Structure 1
Amino acid sequence: MRVLSASALRTALLAFGLWAGAPTLAVAHEGHDHGNEAQAPAAATAPRSTSSTDALELVAIVRSGRLAVFLDRVGTNEPVTDAVVRAETPDGSLTASPMPDGSYAVDAHWSLHPGEHEVLFTVTAAGSTDMFPVTLTVREAPPPKSEAGVSAWASGLAAAHDFQRHLKEADPLPLAIGSTGFLLGIAVTLLMKGRRYLPATALVALIVALAFAPRAFAGEGHGHGSAPGSQTTLMAAPAPAGQDLARRQPDGSIFVPKPTQRVLAVRTVVTSSDIMRRTVELPGRIVPDPSASGVVQSSVGGRLSPPESGIFPRLGTRVRKGEVLAYVTPPVQAVDASDMRQRQGELDQQIAVTERRVERYRKLAPGGAVSQVQLEDAQAELKGLLDRRAALDTIRQQPEALKAPVDGVIAEATAVAGQMASPGVQVFQIVDPTRLWIEALSFDALTGGQHATARLADGRMLRLAYMGAGLADRSQAVPMHFAVEGAPSELRTGQFVTVLAATDAQQKGLALPRMSVVRGGNGQSIVYEHTAPERFEPREVRVEPLDAGQVLVVSGLAAGKRIVTQGAELLNQVR
């Protein structure tokens, strides 16, 4: 009988251990909750209404007892900030006040009461007056939700569910808890056999206390319901009044509130069909205008030295035509130096003889022994010898001055003090940054004089003027030259661009700015149509290049649609 009691006691202790560990497991794993949770309310928008005419569209939004009015142009979605807006409200006639964000505000205490409210807006802008009737529907606030506590039976089922799940996942924690319960049962059995009833009773009481203790604790972020018989009211957090968030609708369209459109600076254009010339994209690079640029080279080899200022011109330095940029001192070889010294000696000897003859003739000329003609001939001979002697000294000492051939900016400079410059090697390159060309390579025969534009890597556009095309192929392509009209100062020679040149072929389509076309999730080109004041719908299109700033929509879009031209990339990120 004692053995049966001990076995029963061990079984009971094991059950207690498992039951005590099950609630702990229920609160231990992450992201699991067995109580009733208050469901988060769906995002709500503030009460709003719209009205439009052929030129303007108006959106009225109620927020906390005030009425915000947004007035935009229909074609471009540009805000109208200089209008006079009057509102006929249930409280009487009021004049809207302009706000810093470009909207207009009207006190609307009547909007605090649920129901439908009729408001008539009279807008005066640019000398014309329009009327915009709207109906604002203010709904009643939803009642707070309350839920009863979870029964002990549901809590027990949840604990059993967690215990089974941990066993299936081979979690060692249930085995550890079972082993602990088994060891505690053996300990109680040994104490009972030794007739130590008091320690055994204390151990059983401790086990029971530990079994019920986990009920009082729950991990952070986990709930297990309320105790039986208790009534707990869970209040769902109310949605913020007037919450306006841009979001994508289930049908793929995008709801963008007017305040968000102002922040994103969304602009639109009404499409129109036209016949456009086809364009081709040509690779090109920026080159200097040959008439406004030049290179500085040495005609004779020699050693470079800086000009009188002592500093070589740096990159980006503006120079004037004829300005000395550097000096080249030609080297004198040993043989040449010997010949020059010999020649100088001969000239010095001839000069000495001629000087004595001139001096003698000068003394004899007054007495008539020597004619004046002989004296003048001797003096001329002496002057010629002196000039030849001075020229030899100049050849040995005077360096060659390297001067700027044109006005411009130093684009390349390789001058270093003491460097030996070879004849015909470029030392400086001078470029006029306001006169640049683009050299493009065309693989098709294009008619000269066609309209062309260029697109930089950052998307900026350059207007080009056709200058000419070569007759000789270069890498199986024909070089074409275009002059950049109004070249920006940050352009650099050698910079790569994409030239878009028009051809004689024509095609019908819709012209849109390049920034209007974005890539969808499937890689398809899409544009966003402004179908309602706060609604945009994506449209898949097929486009072809038109010029550096525009594309030609050849399919997927009809004329007369309002298409987003600015902010399309931001709209494409709304989820």
Structure 2
Amino acid sequence: MKRLFVLPLLALAAAAHAGPGAHGPNGEHLDAAPAAASADVLARLPDGSVVLPMPAQRRLQIRTQLGELSDAAASVELPARVVMDPNSSGRVQTATGGTVHPGPRGLPVPGQRVRKGEVLARVVFQPSPLERANQRAQLAEVRAELQLARQQAQRLQSLEGTVARREIEAAQAAVQSLAGRERALAGSVGAAEALLAPVDGVIARADVVAGQVVEPRDLLFEVVDPGRLLIEATTSDPAIAAGIVGAALLGHPGVELKLLGAARSLRDGAMPVSFRASGRGALPLALALGQPVQVVARLAGSLKGVVLPADAVVRNAANEPVVWLKTSAERFVPQPVRAQPLDATRVVVQGVEPGVRVVVQGANLIAQIR
């Protein structure tokens, strides 16, 4: 009687531990997925597939969709960075150099909004002791000449009628000339250069503190309009730059790009392509100057593939792009694919048969199951 129960128990044990494609003693097909699922255990099988019971799928919020083959615009991913718009941004530099003094509202800080023409700071010119002494000596000499010229003009004015009119006018002209020289020299002693905001915008960069000594042409402030920025992408293929018909910013669905044009000369072995960035609707631009980004440029051609959300494509242990296919109610299989960005949130994958169910939400969680 014991022998009658041994075979069924052995068969059940073999079925519980058999891998995919295994067969029982009578030729029946054994699958490990139902056994694992019945235990409500998340497990990765030897063939790389994952068993995910239905309660776990609900907890992880796994979502799938049927893959449909369609024509999609050909695209290419280009490295890019955020740059300032020269028509709505500006840099503030000093032409003379000297000591920095705060403006009427103090020194601006990054993120502070300023108006065009506003005094951001003042730079007081600091000459050497010898230059300062020469300036003062010239000023004293001009003031002495001015005093003598005024006295001479007054004497000639008192003798009007006996002195020629042209002599009186010449003396008055000499007084005016010396007065102008005196004002110019007096203004040069301790002169200050006002640093003005070139445009309306926000301080993007401020590299000064009160009392700092700066040199001529030092960059002190950068003012940008946060709503008007440019994206500068680069490509080494001039044919790609000439074939771009549209673009999107990868990972930034709230940003719209408008193609401005491509340069006609290489810079560091690459051709710059400029795009104007703007917020979609009323959304502000969440970008910063110098930020590295990726531009998905749409080309004139098209290709066939399955359009999926970008989150559906993950990396396996070999760093290959894969998608997860749902082959049964509780079993998921990784499928290597060729993925190409379509826009900021979607990709076109090749290597997936139409009609299969593809995981579009939670694929990264399935890939972490070991």
SS of 1:322 mapped into structure 2: coil
Residues 50 and 369 of structure 2 are in contact (CA less than 8 Å); yes or no, is this contact kept in structure 1? no
1:392 has 2:185 as partner = yes
Could you list the runs of 5+ residues in structure 2 that have no partner in the other structure? Answer: 1-37
303, 307, 310: which one aligns with 2:103: 307
Residues 255 and 536 of structure 1 are in contact (CA less than 8 Å); yes or no, is this contact kept in structure 2? yes
Q: What is residue 502 of structure 1 aligned with on the other side? A: 298
Residues 88 and 228 of structure 2 are in contact (CA less than 8 Å); yes or no, is this contact kept in structure 1? yes
SS of 1:312 mapped into structure 2: coil
Q: Deviations over 1:132-179 (max 9, x none)?
A: xxxxxxxxxxxxxxxxxxxxxxxxxxxxxxxxxxxxxxxxxxxxxxxx
| Distance across 2 between alignment mates of 1:485 and 1:270 | 34
Relative distance call for 1:382 and 1:285 in structure 2 (3 A) is same
Higher relative contact order (CA 8 A, sep 6+): 2
Q: What is residue 15 of structure 2 aligned with on the other side? A: none
Residues 52 and 332 of structure 2 are in contact (CA less than 8 Å); yes or no, is this contact kept in structure 1? no
1:470 has 2:263 as partner = yes
State how many pairs are aligned.
326
SS of 2:111 mapped into structure 1: coil
Relative distance call for 1:276 and 1:354 in structure 2 (3 A) is same
TM alignment of 1:285-364, pairs within 5 A:
285-309=81-105, 311-364=106-159
Residues 67 and 352 of structure 2 are in contact (CA less than 8 Å); yes or no, is this contact kept in structure 1? no
Relative distance call for 1:417 and 1:268 in structure 2 (3 A) is same
Give the letter for the 1:315 counterpart: P
Relative distance call for 1:449 and 1:503 in structure 2 (3 A) is closer
1:342 Cα shift?
Answer: 3.9
1:463 Cα shift?
Answer: 3.5
| Distance across 1 between alignment mates of 2:179 and 2:218 | 36
Q: What is residue 278 of structure 1 aligned with on the other side? A: 74
Relative distance call for 1:302 and 1:265 in structure 2 (3 A) is same
TM-score by length of 2: 0.74
TM alignment of 1:22-101, pairs within 5 A:
none
| Distance across 2 between alignment mates of 1:337 and 1:539 | 79
SS of 1:451 mapped into structure 2: strand
Q: What is residue 513 of structure 1 aligned with on the other side? A: 309
Residues 311 and 361 of structure 2 are in contact (CA less than 8 Å); yes or no, is this contact kept in structure 1? yes
SS of 2:189 mapped into structure 1: helix
Give the letter for the 2:182 counterpart: R
1:394 Cα shift?
Answer: 0.6
| Distance across 2 between alignment mates of 1:271 and 1:377 | 96
Residues 231 and 276 of structure 2 are in contact (CA less than 8 Å); yes or no, is this contact kept in structure 1? yes
State the identity %.
35
SS of 1:512 mapped into structure 2: strand
| Distance across 2 between alignment mates of 1:381 and 1:555 | 92
TM-score by length of 1: 0.50
| Distance across 2 between alignment mates of 1:333 and 1:573 | 69
Could you list the runs of 5+ residues in structure 1 that have no partner in the other structure? Answer: 1-242
Q: Which moved more, 1:322-331 or 1:247-256?
A: 247-256
| Distance across 1 between alignment mates of 2:154 and 2:269 | 78
SS of 1:450 mapped into structure 2: strand
| Distance across 1 between alignment mates of 2:75 and 2:200 | 36
SS of 2:289 mapped into structure 1: coil
| Distance across 1 between alignment mates of 2:146 and 2:43 | 102
1:363 Cα shift?
Answer: 4.4
RMSD: 3.4
SS of 2:138 mapped into structure 1: helix
